[in-house]
């Protein structure tokens, strides 16, 4: 070989060796995560989608996290929002139980969820200011003057890995909460907000999102510079992390190739809801790039770790203050009343019946998503009712003409799944053609020029455009002053023994 060729080869080899030596080391870190806790701080056994879950609550989550941190790589615990609403302690304290316990549970970073606004702007601000840990959300939630409502992002280092965590709230926040809860706050486009806060190349770009799984996948396509999205809001139970590129989901095998190249997309993870799982995500990182992502969900049922004794005692002390009032028996059930997300349910019928009776209305309506727990019985307490209806919405009465009812029926016929839980109203929907075939009120065909008295909760009424296909300003509402959960408690007491409503009111064919 010629001398010049030898020298050239030597130079190339030397350059490669120098480049290899100059590359930063591969570091491994662990990200703990959960979302949509909904103040499920007390141990509980529940039925959800036909499955029975043992949930050790806040103390169980802390026990799991401590066990992981004792054996794992350097870690950080991310909470993807919706601490408020669901459990009775949050209802009684207007979220105070959650910011009191946040630091004791052990979260490192939290993003605001839509339910942090359930008790108004002041209580959302209380969580932001009193949780004792960084609370994000200001990247796309701003005040009238353009200033962020909360922290836009947090720069931190975990085991030598530099990262920037950017918090996002759902783009439809106003619809989810109602304008009255937000005052003059404005929600910005998530993709635009993230682009403004993307870090430099040496720092991981992490989004702590309370937008829901579908929105997270769209964001990954819009902003490919994002390395990781830790999500919430949709209560999606992702047993393993997923990888999304600009063209959609990539094969799961891509996440763990370990070929010392940056993953060709954005990692997305989410851990169900109500504290049933703790997400554990392990990342191999080099120079601000994720090379490998592997993860799992650990059940919060005591099978992996015992509940934290001190935190359990703290939760029990907090609950004991209210237990004498909450645990009074007010009724019994002949059979369990359970909810369904996509169909009529015995519990939904009972709630709509109670609304209609309390307001002396022709029609009662209630949204499926507003039913937050089952009634298992046989004994029913005030606590049980409050867990079913934790939001404290006011009942609203308004009149509809028969023509407007037909317009609503047509709107429902075009929607996916069961539109609402109803009382006094019956209809048949041909889901294939997207039209309704019959419409009756109290057994009589609807007359276009007749007026019908309707009652629903204030949340549904504020979202009239979504639920009815008619904007709220077309109605003349009467605020009854009756709180939904109080109506249900009174109805249960009056009945004494609650029988399961079995009639079919909305037929889907």
Model pLDDT, residue 230 = 98
Rounded CA separation 4/236 (Å) = 62
Pairing of strands 435-441, 444-445: antiparallel
Helices in 158-291 by DSSP H: which ranges? 173-177, 179-182, 190-197, 213-222
Contact 286/52 with Cβ under 8 angstroms?
no
- Provide the 10 A C-beta neighbour count for residue 59: 26
Model pLDDT, residue 253 = 92
Residue 425 — pLDDT band, cuts 50, 70, 90?
very high
The pLDDT of 248-266, averaged and rounded, is: 92
Is the Cα torsion angle 337, 338, 339, 340 positive or negative in sign?
negative
Burial class from Cβ neighbours inside 10 Å (0-12, 13-18, 19+) for residue 1 reads exposed
Decide if pLDDT at 416 tops 90. no
- Provide the 10 A C-beta neighbour count for residue 417: 12
Is the Cα torsion angle 488, 494, 498, 500 positive or negative in sign?
negative
Decide if pLDDT at 19 tops 60. no
Decide if pLDDT at 182 tops 70. yes
The reported pTM is 0.82
Mind listing the domains of the chain with CATH numbers? 23-320 (3.60.21.10), 327-508 (3.90.780.10)
Q: Give percent above pLDDT 70 in the chain.
A: 95
Number of H helices, E strands in the chain: 17, 29
Contact 113/79 with Cβ under 8 angstroms?
no
**Closest among 181, 177, 51, 186 to 125, alpha carbons compared:** 181
Rounded CA separation 19/250 (Å) = 30
What is the token pair recorded at 239? 């047993």
Rounded CA separation 165/38 (Å) = 22
Pairing of strands 27-34, 277-286: antiparallel
Decide if pLDDT at 396 tops 60. yes
Model pLDDT, residue 57 = 96
What is the token pair recorded at 6? 């030898």
List the strands of the sheet with 444-445, edge to edge. Answer: 444-445, 435-441, 425-430, 506-508
User: In terms of pLDDT, which residue wins out, 433 or 291?
Assistant: 291
Rounded CA separation 333/500 (Å) = 8
Model pLDDT, residue 433 = 78
Q: Give percent above pLDDT 90 in the chain.
A: 76
Beta-ladder partners of 142: 148, 186
């Amino acid at each position: 070989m010629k001398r010049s060729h030898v020298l050239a080869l030597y130079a190339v080899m030397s350059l490669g060796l120098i480049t290899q030596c100059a590359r930063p080391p591969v570091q491994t870190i662990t990200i703990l995560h959960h979302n949509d806790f909904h103040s499920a701080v007390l141990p509980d056994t529940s039925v959800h989608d036909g499955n029975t879950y043992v949930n050790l609550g806040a103390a169980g989550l802390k026990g799991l996290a401590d066990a992981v941190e004792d054996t794992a790589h350097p870690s950080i615990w991310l909470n993807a929002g919706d601490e408020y609403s669901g459990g009775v302690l949050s209802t009684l304290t207007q979220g105070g139980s959650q910011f009191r316990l946040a630091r004791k549970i052990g979260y490192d970073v939290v993003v605001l969820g839509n339910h942090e606004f359930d008790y108004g702007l002041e209580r959302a601000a209380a969580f932001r200011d009193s949780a004792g840990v960084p609370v994000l959300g200001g990247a796309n939630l701003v005040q009238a003057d353009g200033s962020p409502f909360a922290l836009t992002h947090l720069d931190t280092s975990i085991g030598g890995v530099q990262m920037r965590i950017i918090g996002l709230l759902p783009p439809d926040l106003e619809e989810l909460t109602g304008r009255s809860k937000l005052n003059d706050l404005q929600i910005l486009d998530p993709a635009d907000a993230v682009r403004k806060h993307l870090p430099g190349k040496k720092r991981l770009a992490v989004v702590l999102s309370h937008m829901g799984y579908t929105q997270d996948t769209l964001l990954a396509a819009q902003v490919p510079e994002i390395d990781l999205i830790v999500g919430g809001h949709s209560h999606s139970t992702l047993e393993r992390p997923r990888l999304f590129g600009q063209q959609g989901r990539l094969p799961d095998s891509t996440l763990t190739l370990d070929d010392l190249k940056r993953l060709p997309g954005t990692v997305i993870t989410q851990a169900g809801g109500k504290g049933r799982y703790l997400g554990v995500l392990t990342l191999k990182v080099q120079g601000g790039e994720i090379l490998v992502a592997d993860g799992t969900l650990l059940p919060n049922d005591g099978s992996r770790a015992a509940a934290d004794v001190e935190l359990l005692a703290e939760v029990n002390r907090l609950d004991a203050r209210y237990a004498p009032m909450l645990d009074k028996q007010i009724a019994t059930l002949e059979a369990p009343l359970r909810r369904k997300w996509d169909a009529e349910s015995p519990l939904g019928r009972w709630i709509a019946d109670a609304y209609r009776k309390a307001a002396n209305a022709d029609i009662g309506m209630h949204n499926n998503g507003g039913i937050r727990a089952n009634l298992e019985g046989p004994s029913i307490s005030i606590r049980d009712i409050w867990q079913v209806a934790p939001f404290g919405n006011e009942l609203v009465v308004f009149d509809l003409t028969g023509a407007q009812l037909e317009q609503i029926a047509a709107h429902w016929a075009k929607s996916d799944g069961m539109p609402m839980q109803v009382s006094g109203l019956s209809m048949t929907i041909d889901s294939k053609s997207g039209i309704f075939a019959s419409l009756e009120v109290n057994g009589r065909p609807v007359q276009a020029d007749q007026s019908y008295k309707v009652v629903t909760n204030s949340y549904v009424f504020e979202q009239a455009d979504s639920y009815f296909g008619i904007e709220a300003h077309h109605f003349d509402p009467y605020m009854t002053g009756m709180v939904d959960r109080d109506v249900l408690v009174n109805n249960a007491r009056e009945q004494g023994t609650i029988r399961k409503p079995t009639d079919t009111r909305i037929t889907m064919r």
